[in-house]
Amino acid sequence: MSTETVTASIASASRDKKREKNFVKTWKRLLKNKMAIVGLVIIALQLIMTVAAPILVDYDPNKQNLALSELPPGTDGHWMGTDNYGRDIWSRLVYGARISLFVGLGAVSLGLIGGVVLGLLAGYYRRLDGIIMRFVDLLFAFPGILLAMLIIAILGTSLVNVVIAISIWSIPTCARIVRGSVLSVKKQEYIMAMKSLGASDGRILFKHVLPNCTAPIIVFATMRMATAILSTASLSFLGLGAQPPTPEWGAMIAAGQDFMWSSPHMIIIPGIAIMLVVFAFNVVGDALRDALDPGMNLDK
Q: Which is nearer to another protein, 44 or 192 (CB)?
A: 44
86 binds another protein (CB under 8 A): no
Q: Which stretch binds another protein (CB under 8 A): 75-83, 104-112, 214-222, 268-276?
A: 268-276
CA distance 191 to 208: 7
CA distance 16 to 26: 15
Helix (H, G, I), strand (E, B) or coil at 78: strand
DSSP string, 135-180: HHHHHHTS-HHHHHHHHHHHH-SSHHHHHHHHHHHHHHHHHHHHHH
Q: Which is nearer to another protein, 175 or 205 (CB)?
A: 175
CA distance 86 to 41: 31
238 binds another protein (CB under 8 A): yes
Q: For 254-293, b where at least 16 C-beta lie within 10 A, e where not — what string?
A: bbbeebeeebebbbebbbebbeebbebbbbbbbbbbbbbe
Pick the binder of another protein from 74, 77, 211, 264 (CB under 8 A).
Answer: 264
Pick the binder of another protein from 9, 22, 243, 257 (CB under 8 A).
Answer: 257
Q: Which stretch binds another protein (CB under 8 A): 3-11, 53-61, 149-157, 158-166?
A: 149-157
- Scan residues 152-171 and list those touching another protein (CB under 8 A): 152-154, 156-157
Q: Which stretch binds another protein (CB under 8 A): 6-14, 78-86, 278-286, 287-295?
A: 278-286
CA distance 48 to 68: 28
Q: Which is nearer to another protein, 43 or 230 (CB)?
A: 230
**Bridge partners (DSSP) listed for residue 208:** none
Neighbours of 157 (CB within 10 A): 16
37 binds another protein (CB under 8 A): no
Site for another protein, rule CB under 8 A: 35, 134, 137-138, 141-146, 149-150, 152-154, 156-157, 226, 230, 233-234, 237-240, 250, 253, 257, 260-261, 264, 267-268, 270-271, 274-276, 278-279, 282-283, 286, 298-299
